[in-house]
Amino acid sequence: EDITEEKYLKFAENYFEKYMTHKNILNILESQEFSEEQIKLVNDLVKSKTVLKGLFDKIKFDGTNKDIFISTIEENRAEIIKNIFKNGNNLYKNYCNERLIFTEDNSTCRLRGYNVDKDRKTSNLGFCFSKESFESNDILEFDFIPFAFSNSDMRETYFVNNNFSVKSLTQTNYAFSNQLSSTENKDDKNKLMLVLQNSKDYISYDVEIISKSQDKAYYETFFVRLERLKKLRELSGKSLNFVKKINDDYWFNLEKEVYMRCLNNVLLDDVILMMLKFYFDDNAGKGYIKSRTDMLIDINVSWKGNEIMDEIKNQIDSAKKCGHLVSKRLIEMKSSNKIISYKYKLSSALNTHDYDRVKEILLRLSAEVNIEFSFFY
């Protein structure tokens, strides 16, 4: 009963203050005199929001009519807050269907990814296309979900769901959000990984993290196990900074790829193969790429566990020695041009997971240089 629409809107205005355009306008209007720049800024802010454009239709701020602007905003404050909040791509609209704010007893859930247009999709909602088998529930309290997620200035926001108690929930998420704010990184997912690396003061257990991206119409969730979190923290200080554009829609970020595989308990085989491909495609940065690839191999070996680590290490050392001997022999045979050729062939076969082709190339190479590859067995 204590939660009213009026109190809710005041809370939203305070919580998301920096996105409340009308407050920015009111702050400027506190001045007694206005520069051309301030006058232009007020008019630009009015134009930026549909609700403000409607209220100030055909009225332009000229530096002398601030009282009209102040009184109009104060008289329509609730309407302005509601419109800005519910239609903000990083505010309510990112988490819930904006048409359902403050509503009760909805036939489908208001949350993004759970909301359904029942006028159009009821025939295929239920099991075996039976409308009667479809079940949904919705509660007014879901309107508070936008306040739970961290850092609305990020395109992807996060909620640490350690719901042992309300106290631990709020304390963890405040700490988590503050760390995200103070971490400099352009990529939101990478920023998340960097924060998790430094979260031992408030995350020391398995925990679920829920994420919501403005680019997706649904929530995502992943489970962070403490064992993997410790592995992630061990990566702190490793030089994994390498970024390469693959196409207009995708940039390969080595640090992010390694961190995500670490948390998901996935080995780095495919990342290592990708780096090998970059090594042969990029003439300029071969040494830089090689140093990171060597590091990835070491990390991969350590993740595979102590039981097989020594055996793998011996195989890798054996393969490296064979590689040096083969290069030396080909140079002596005045066939050094074949070194790059064989590298490309092996790299290409490995990247396409054509292991029969890998065996065929290695056997041919072994016969050509007359060297036995002990690791090959």
Which string of DSSP letters, residue by residue, matches 120-156? HHGGGTSGGG-GGG------GGGGGGGGTSS-TTSSE
pTM of the predicted structure, to 2 decimals: 0.73
Distances from the Cα of 279 to the Cαs of 251, 272, 288, 350, 372, in angstroms?
16, 10, 9, 14, 26
Q: Are 42 and 63 in contact (CB under 8 A)?
A: no
pLDDT digits (tens, 9 = 90+) for 301-320: 888 876 666 677 788 888 88
* 252-263 confidence digits (pLDDT tens): 999 889 988 998
Return the structure tokens found at 172. Answer: 């963890």
Report the pLDDT averaged over residues 183-201.
84
What pLDDT does residue 263 have? 86
CA 111 – CA 213 distance, rounded (Å):
13
What mean pLDDT value characterizes the chain? 89
Average pLDDT on 162-188 reads 87
Positive/negative CA dihedral, 296, 300, 303, 308: negative
Q: Band of the pLDDT at 73, cuts 50, 70, 90?
A: very high
Token pair listed for 328: 């030396």
Say yes or no to pLDDT of 88 above 90. Answer: yes
Local confidence band at 122 (pLDDT 50, 70, 90 cut-offs): low
pLDDT tens digits for 56-71?
988 999 999 999 999 9
How many CA atoms within 13 Å lie on the side-chain side of 4?
5
For 207-243, the pLDDT digits (tens) are 999 999 999 999 999 888 988 888 888 888 788 889 8
Q: Which pLDDT score is estimated for 163?
A: 81
List the Cα angle 368/294/198 in 5-degree steps: 165
Q: Does pLDDT of 201 surpass 60?
A: yes
Task: Find which of 36-40, 228-232, 371-375 is predicted with most confidence, using mean pLDDT.
Answer: 36-40
Asked whether the predicted pLDDT for residue 124 surpasses 70, the reply is no
Tell me the mean pLDDT in the region 368-374.
92
Mean pLDDT to the nearest integer, 127-148 = 81
Tokens of 97: 């269907």
Q: What is the pLDDT of residue 128?
A: 62
